[in-house]
Amino acid sequence: MHRNALTRLHIAMVIVMALMVIIGASTSVAQERGILVPRPQSEMTIAELSEEVYDEVKSLHAFEAMPLPNSPERRRTLEIRLDEKTINLLKNIMALSQRVLAKSEDAPERETLRQLVQSRGIEIEQTLILRFSSLTERLNQSLARQASLSGAALLSEESLGELLDGQRLQYLSLASDLTLLMKTLELEETDLRKKVISTLTYFGDEMMGLVHLHRHGLSMLSARSASDGTDADLLQAARFESERLELATKRLRKVVTQLELLGGDTLEMRRTLIEERRGLALTLVDTAVINVLYAEISSEIRDWLAVRGIGAAISFVLFVVIVIISRALSRIAKRLAARALRNAEESVSQLLRETLISMAGTVVFLIGMLVALSQIGISVTPLIAGLGVIGFIVGFALQDTLANFASGAMILAYRPFDTGDFISAADVEGEVRKMNLVNTTIVTVDNRVLIIPNSKIWGGVIMNFTGQHLRRTDVIYGVSYSEDLDHVQRVLEELIAADERFLTTPPAIVRVKHFGDSSIDFMVRAYVRTEQFWETLWALNKSVKQRFDAEGISIPFPQRDVHMLSTSEPPAGRRGEESS
C-alpha cells in the first residue's frame, strides 16, 4: 500500500515537474549541467531549479525500481534512504513553488502552478499521510525491539528510532507547507488543514509526554543522587535523560511553530515549553498562557493561605514589629554612643566619633533584622555563612576599595586631621568637610568639592595647617641698605605689640635674617590663634607698608639703570686708530 502511494506521488510530481520545466526551460541549463560544485538554490533560476528537481524525480524512480533485499537490516536501511530522497524531493518542489509565487500576480507560471496543485494536490496529501503512518508503524516496531536489546545493539536501535521520529516531523512540516501553498493559491484547503492540524497535535501530545517523562526521570535521578551519592551509572542515566529531554523539547518547539502557522491550538504545548525553560519565553507567551498561569498561581496561593495563612500573618506582623523596634533601638544606640563619646572630645577625633556612632546604630539594626528574618522562617546560619563566602570573593574583586577601607581605619586610629581642618594631601589643599572609611571630602579655597580615596591620602604626606591651636607667622620684610636697622626693628615690634591678636606668649621675634642683593631682610615671627591667622597676617602686611611710608623707611624694589652713549663721536680707541 505504501509503495502504491509513493507511485501516485511520483506520477503527480513527474507531471508537475514536467510542466515546470516547460515553464522555465532555457538553453543555458544544458550548458551549466557539467558544473561539479552545486550552486545554492537562492542563486539558481527557475529553469535550473526545475531541471534539478526533474533529475531528482528520475533518480527516485530508479531507486524505487530496485528490488529490496531479503535482509531485514538492509531492508530498513533502504527504506530510510527512500524516505530521505522523498523528503529532499518534496522540499525542492516546495522551494520551486515559492520561486514561482515570487513572480507577479499576472505571471502565467502562477496560474499553471495553481492548476497543477489543484489537480494533483489530493494525491500528494494522501501520500504524505500514508508515509507518516508507515514511519509511525516502523517506529513502534523499533521501540518494541529495544525492550529485548542491550549494549551496542540497543544504541543502534535507539538511533534508528530517533531517525524515524525525525522523518515523521519532516513529513508533517511538508504537509504544513502544502497547506500554506494551497492557501496562497486560493485553493480549498480546509480538509487538508484539519488533517494536518490533527496529526501535528497528535505528534505534539506525544512530544509533551516525552518531555514530562524525561523531566520526571531527571528529578528521580537527582533525588537518588542526593540520598545515595553520585556514581557512573547515575551520571550516564542522567546524561541519557537530559539528551532525550532536549530532543523532545526541540521537536515540540517545531510542532508549535507549524501549528501556529496553521492556526492550531498550541496553549498546552507552550505551557510545557515554558515549564521546561523555567521562565517566560517571549516568543511563546501570549494572553491565553498568562491567564492560565495566573489562574494556577492564584489557586496555589489560596490553598497555601487556607493551610498556613494565620501562621504566616502572625509571622509577618512579628517581622514588621521587630523591624520597627530595631530602627528605634538603632536610634537609641546612636544617641547613647554620642553621649558616651561627648566626654572624650580631646582623645577621640570628630571623624572617629561620627564613625563609631554610625556603626553602633548599624550593628543594632542588623541584629534586629536577623531576628526578624528568623521569625518568617529564613534560616540565619546559612545566611551568615553565605555572607562570609561572599565577603571572601568580593575581597578579591574589590582590592582597591579594601585598601581605601584600611586607609580610612588608619586615619581614624592615628587622627592626622579632623573635620573642619585645612589640610594639604594628595596634591590638593582644602578644608575637610566629611570622611568615611572609603573616601574623604575636601572643599578647596575656590569652593570646589573633591572626593579623594583614603588610600591616596594615607599613602602620601599630610600637612595639617589647622591641627594646632596656635600658628606662627613667618614674614620677610626688606628695607634699604641706607636705613637705620634699630629704627626698623623698633617699628616692626611696635606694630606687633599694637595688634592684640598677636600673642605675648610665646613672644614675638623680629630679627635681621640676611643681606639680599638689594635689601636687608627682616624676619618677623609671631604667634596667633589658628582661626585668626590669615586676617592677622593680611592686616600686618598693610600696617607695615603704611608705617614704613610714614617713617620714611624705603622698601627697595628691583630696578634697572640704562646709560645711553652718543654715536656722534667714536670711542677713544677708534680715534687713535684713525689718526694713525
The contacts of residue 306 (CB under 8 Å, 6+ apart) are none
> Average pLDDT, stretch 288-292?
58
Spatial separation of the C-alpha atoms in residues 89 and 127, rounded to whole Å: 14
Tell me whether residue 185 is in a domain: no
Residues 460 and 474 in one domain: no
Question: pLDDT at position 168, please?
Answer: 84
CATH number of 489's domain: 3.30.70.100
Dihedral, CA of residue 266, residue 271, residue 273 and residue 277, to nearest 10: 160
What number of other Cβ atoms are within 10 A of residue 438's Cβ?
16
Spatial separation of the C-alpha atoms in residues 450 and 432, rounded to whole Å: 10
Q: Which residue stretches of 25-150 are H helix? A: 27-32, 46-65, 72-101, 108-146
CATH number of 319's domain: 1.10.287
Tell me whether residue 529 is in a domain: yes
**Residue at grid coordinates 579594601:** 402
Task: Check pLDDT > 60 for residue 433.
Answer: yes
Q: How many helices (H) and strands (E) does the chain have?
A: 17, 8
Q: DSSP labels for 301-370?
A: HHHHHHHHHHHHHHHHHHHHHHHHHHHHHHHHHHHHHHHHHHTTTTTS-HHHHHHHHHHHHHHHHHHHHH
DSSP assigned state of 68: P
Task: Check pLDDT > 80 for residue 198.
Answer: yes
Tell me whether residue 367 is in a domain: yes
> Measured between alpha carbons, how far is residue 2 from residues 9, 117, 390 in Å?
11, 22, 65
Residues 310 and 382 in one domain: yes
Spatial separation of the C-alpha atoms in residues 133 and 58, rounded to whole Å: 25
> Average pLDDT, stretch 94-119?
78
Question: pLDDT at position 396, please?
Answer: 54
DSSP assigned state of 556: -
What angle in degrees, to the nearest 10, is found between the helix axes of 267-277 and 190-228? 30
Q: What contacts 24+ positions apart, CB below 8 Å, involve 408-414?
A: 408/435, 408/436, 408/437, 408/438, 408/439, 408/454, 409/437, 410/458, 411/351, 411/435, 411/440, 411/454, 411/457, 411/458, 412/349, 412/351, 412/352, 412/355, 412/437, 413/352
Spatial separation of the C-alpha atoms in residues 342 and 337, rounded to whole Å: 8
Residues 353 and 437 in one domain: no
| Listed ranges 67-71, 414-418, 501-505; the one with the highest mean pLDDT | 501-505
Tell me whether residue 373 is in a domain: yes
Residues 384 and 435 in one domain: no
Backbone torsions φ then ψ of 376, nearest 5 degrees: -100, 15
Tell me whether residue 331 is in a domain: yes
Provide the grid cell at 92.
Answer: 525542492
Query: What is the separation of C-alpha 178 from the centre of its chain, rounded to a whole number of angstroms?
Result: 44
Local confidence band at 535 (pLDDT 50, 70, 90 cut-offs): very high
Total domains in the chain come to 3
Q: Give per-residue pLDDT as tens, 127-176.
A: 777 778 888 888 888 888 888 888 788 888 888 888 888 888 888 888 88
Tell me whether residue 358 is in a domain: yes
Task: Classify 204 as helix, strand or coil.
Answer: helix
β-bridge partners, 451: 441
Spatial separation of the C-alpha atoms in residues 175 and 195, rounded to whole Å: 9
Task: Check pLDDT > 70 for residue 555.
Answer: yes
Share of the chain above pLDDT 90, in %: 15
Residues 499 and 520 in one domain: yes
Local confidence band at 30 (pLDDT 50, 70, 90 cut-offs): very low
Tell me whether residue 106 is in a domain: no
Question: pLDDT at position 496, please?
Answer: 93
Question: pLDDT at position 155, please?
Answer: 81
Spatial separation of the C-alpha atoms in residues 545 and 341, rounded to whole Å: 49
Task: Check pLDDT > 70 for residue 33.
Answer: no
Dihedral, CA of residue 198, residue 200, residue 206 and residue 208, to nearest 10: -110
Residues 504 and 532 in one domain: yes
The contacts of residue 323 (CB under 8 Å, 6+ apart) are 368, 369, 372
Over the chain, what is the mean pLDDT? 78
Domain range for 495 is 470-551
| Listed ranges 308-317, 410-419, 458-467, 540-549; the one with the highest mean pLDDT | 540-549
Task: Check pLDDT > 50 for residue 301.
Answer: yes
State how beta strands 428-435 and 439-443 pair. antiparallel
Residues 478 and 433 in one domain: no
Residues 494 and 459 in one domain: no
Residues 393 and 308 in one domain: yes
Tell me whether residue 376 is in a domain: yes
Residues 361 and 425 in one domain: no
Kind plus residue range of the DSSP H or E element containing 512: strand 509-515
Query: What is the separation of C-alpha 57 from the centre of its chain, rounded to a whole number of angstroms?
Result: 53
Question: pLDDT at position 476, please?
Answer: 92
Q: Give per-residue pLDDT as tens, 397-425.
A: 566 777 887 888 888 777 888 888 899 99
Residues 449 and 491 in one domain: no
DSSP assigned state of 531: G
Local confidence band at 80 (pLDDT 50, 70, 90 cut-offs): confident
Q: Which residues of 117-134 are buried (b: 16+ CB within 10 A; e: fewer)?
A: beebbebbbebbbbbbbb
Question: pLDDT at position 37, please?
Answer: 47
Q: Give per-residue pLDDT as tens, 46-62.
A: 677 677 777 777 787 77
**Cβ(417)–Cβ(460) below 8 Å:** no
**Cβ(441)–Cβ(423) below 8 Å:** no
Q: Which residues of 169-184 are buried (b: 16+ CB within 10 A; e: fewer)?
A: bbbbbbbbbbbbbbeb
Question: pLDDT at position 378, please?
Answer: 73
**Residue at grid coordinates 617713617:** 551
Residues 433 and 499 in one domain: no
What number of other Cβ atoms are within 10 A of residue 57's Cβ?
19
Local confidence band at 368 (pLDDT 50, 70, 90 cut-offs): confident
Task: Check pLDDT > 90 for residue 28.
Answer: no
**Cβ(529)–Cβ(506) below 8 Å:** no
Q: Give per-residue pLDDT as tens, 219-268.
A: 888 777 777 766 777 778 888 888 888 888 888 888 888 888 888 888 88
**Cβ(53)–Cβ(41) below 8 Å:** no
Where a domain ends, among 368, 397, 426?
Answer: 397
